[in-house]
Structure 1
């Protein structure tokens, strides 16, 4: 296993705003934001102890989904490479890369270069995808995307390993005698598997260094974690797995505006007490998101969380 997070602590990271703007979670100010906003948010995360910053992955959004999902989805490799240049420590997570849309050697070239340029800060988060039109447009197999992802993970393990001339032979992909440099800075790039379906949980249990659940509510997450650990043991995988959770939206301190019914708000003690419940379930890292009306309010929230809430997470 490639351990990314400090053992025995509840780490925190965030999915970046601006780079994906689904109406489910995007704030109003993001529509007019751009590269400098992303860069400043990444710099704040870097100096505030965030474990990672994350980006999403969609190639193209069909009209039937555009109103809900929007068509704003930055390319993850380009975005993370851009942000690697303005940060020093924070990990760079694809959450998640739909790697079944691309040949494994293409993905390996992109992500190996990113890890090399960033000094070994890549976490490769992968998922099956859900937009059929994307797969059709690029000639990928939508119906068989689960099996494709399983084999792609195995192929990427080989292609992102230490060997300049990696070898892999599977049902869909095979390669040998083909060299790729630069190699990743890490000897083994960590692969975190995203998704909460039964197939995704099994995939994370069997193949993942980490698990990225997608919106499991608290009252169901503990059962999912127990299932993952059981499946991992049944598969004979004795390596530990780094488990994540996506928290409720957060707002540190008095809001003075409508931050939404589901938002976890209030003083640092109350927020930390609530979030520590994730650690009790066996979660290693929480992905946090803050309600905000501007970039400055977001970065203020990030700083407040880091200085006032994060130290209380370990109690």
Structure 2
């Protein structure tokens, strides 16, 4: 597992693209493609490492009041934003890859990596909405085992071979060529989730770990478990450890941003975020409180100019 980095990288989960009531702002309901484009461009200008998009095929009525049904497709969204940016990496956070055959997933994401010049980070997760699995004919109860094998199958399907091969319990393929190949020789796969099974999966199969809502006081224990599992199983490759920060607002808001929001002068925010680096975190995912697109763009710019340089 990689040691403490010189700098703490930072990325952002896109607003507008997913609109769960857990985190969406009121203005996002009326926003659309032009807003996403301007936000992506601002994120790149501000030096963010990545922008991220979520994955849900369909939201059942029982969950729609909380989750909403606004979930842009991550491949289409990231491809659209790849065309209006040049450097920022493109993260699926997370793709529920068990809902689709690995060859289909590989075709979509290999094409995205090819078109974007090698900017893909494939974040994967087990999923949690039973009705999605049932509608697509996938066994919800076995989703963890399916994901384990899907990661292995995707390693092959996103590798250098034009005719990838995988033989397993759930997937079996060979002799089917797929081009274009990814631009990257190795597409990083980051595993999402904070359950014991997800942490184990990230430790043994992932290039990175994307926790799901772990508070700060839980992270050191989770990171230690990652380290121990990799050591016990002889996994020596670097692992990118992530964290999702508290909501942020750079400066003094002048409106109620919520008691959990980390707000104040740039140095105070940077000092707080540097604590993640001290735990062994390599990249933090941020989300800003805002009342409209203009305020969000200002927050992104302020973070990039005044907070980001202090994370070294």
TM-score, normalised relative to structure 2: 0.98
Residue 233 (structure 1) shift: 1.0
Q: Which of 94, 97, 106 is the matching residue for 1:96? A: 94
Trace 1:46-195 onto structure 2 (pairs within 5 A): 46-195=44-193
Aligned equivalents of 1:257, 1:7: Cα separation in 2: 35
Query: Displacement of 1:313 after TM fit?
Result: 1.1
Quick one: which of 261, 275, 278 aligns to 1:277?
275
Contact 2:191 2:206 in 1 (8 A): yes
Q: Distance in 1 between matches of 2:25 and 2:141?
A: 33
Q: Distance in 1 between matches of 2:6 and 2:55?
A: 31
Q: 1:33 maps to what in 2?
A: 31
Aligned residues: 311
Task: Spell out, residue by residue over 1:199-243, the C-alpha distance to the aligned partner (whole angstroms, 9 max, x if none).
Answer: 000000000000000010001111100011101111110111000
SS at match of 1:87: coil
2:218 is matched with 220
Task: Determine which of 193, 196, 219 is the counterpart of 1:198.
Answer: 196
Q: 1:20 aligns with which of 15, 18, 21?
A: 18
- 2: CA distance between counterparts of 1:263 and 1:228? 28
Q: Could you list the per-position Cα deviations for residues 79-108 of structure 1 after superposition, in whole angstroms to 9, with x for gaps in the alignment?
A: 000000000000000000000000000000
Partner of 1:313: 311
Matching residue within 278, 290, 293 for 1:292: 290
Q: Distance in 2 between matches of 1:136 and 1:282?
A: 39
Cα offset, 1:7, TM superposition: 4.9
Aligned to 1:207: 205
Q: TM-score scaled to structure 1, two decimals? A: 0.97
Deviations 1:173-220 (A, max 9, x none): 011110000000001100000000000000000000000000100011
CA deviation after TM superposition for structure 1 residue 32, in Å: 0.2
Query: What is the match of residue 233 of structure 1?
Result: 231
Counterpart-to-counterpart distance in 2, 1:25 and 1:237: 35
Q: CA RMSD in A?
A: 1.1
State the alpha-carbon separation in 1 of the partners of residues 6 and 283 from structure 2: 10
Aligned to 2:145, the other structure's residue is in SS state helix
Q: Secondary structure at the match of 1:64?
A: coil
CA drift of 1:56 comes to 0.2
Give the 3-state SS of the residue equivalent to 1:269 in structure 2: helix
CA distance in 2, matches of 1:80, 1:278: 27
Deviations along 1:119-158, one digit per CA (max 9) or x if unpaired, are 0000000000000000000001100000000000000000
Whole-Å Cα distance in 1 between the matches of residues 104 and 204 of structure 2? Answer: 24
- 2:237 counterpart SS class: coil
Deviation at 1:8, TM superposition (A): 2.7
Counterparts of 1:98 and 1:290 in 2: how far apart (Å)?
25
Aligned equivalents of 1:230 and 1:18: distance in 2? 38
C-alpha distance in structure 2 between counterparts of 1:233 and 1:89, whole Å: 34
Whole-Å Cα distance in 1 between the matches of residues 84 and 56 of structure 2?
Answer: 24
Q: What secondary structure sits across from 1:116 in the alignment?
A: helix
